[in-house]
Amino acid sequence: METNENKQQKIVQMFDDIAGTYDTANRVLSMGIDIQWRKRACDETFKRYEKPIELIVDVACGTGDMMGYWAKQAKKAGRKIGKILGVDPSVGMTDVGKQKFPEFEFVISEATALPLDNASADVVSISYGIRNVVKRQDAFREFARVLKSGGYVVILEFTKDDKKGFFFALKDMYLNKILPILGGFISKNKEAYEYLPNSIEGFLTAPMLQKELDEAGFEIEFSKSFSMDISTLVIAKKR
């Protein structure tokens, strides 16, 4: 029987394997629309968190895309950020991130064991990564531990939906048929892009995600789904 640790390690290894082509595949497969979702996440957070921002921690940061948008949108909003820290268990992904963003700090760590003091972060974000954390509830408790009182957790994720209809059938066809072929062609690793739709199907609906955050000590302040509910943004404040 596969343990949680073995399952998690396999996921990390998969991301190590596709790190070199990840950014290209991501932009092609999302047709660039994820950029708008990421910007929206940053902007909505800045509207709500009016205190000085000393530390933003991007968990499952991958190659650093979300860190870049935190910095870019902060500049547009006239907000100063003391430090943006990227945390990810994949050496391959963070190596790419360090080349893209030498101005940011990256550390290798699991979402369930962040190398941070209690109540040290203003914002913890995780974009398209919580789905890949096997011990998700442990991660949410860890986010609550490192956040200051009144700090925010910001989650962008591909959530499961049970809706029916023509457009939702098209979405399912893209995710299950077209995406693995395109992703496999770009990355030369079809298995990794077969994992994506399977992981979405095995994940939570948006209301289920909100319920888990509530149980971990967060108050939901904003939730919105995009593009036929393929992606959901949830912003929650630590109680």
Angle, helices 22-30 vs 91-100, to 10°: value is 80
Q: Would you tell me how many other CB atoms lie within 10 Å of the CB of residue 118? A: 10
Of the chain, the end-to-end C-alpha distance in Å amounts to 38
Nearest to 192 by CA among 72, 68, 16: 16
User: Would you say 88 is a known binding-site residue?
Assistant: yes
201: Cβ contacts below 8 Å, ≥ 6 apart: 160
232 is annotated as contributing to ligand binding: no
Output the CA torsion sign for 121, 148, 12, 68: negative
The single-letter DSSP state of residue 147 is E
What phi and psi values does residue 221 have, to the nearest 5 degrees? -110, -25
The DSSP H or E segment spanning 51 is none
For residue 60, give the DSSP letter.
T
Cα gap 141→219, rounded to integer Å = 13
Residue 127 marked ligand-binding: yes
* CA torsion through residues 204, 207, 210, 211, sign: negative
Closest CA to 37 of 238, 230, 189, 206: 230
8 A C-beta contact, residue 56 and residue 83: yes
Q: Which residues are annotated as a binding site?
A: 63, 88, 127
Q: Which residues are annotated as a binding site for S-adenosyl-L-methionine?
A: 63, 88, 127
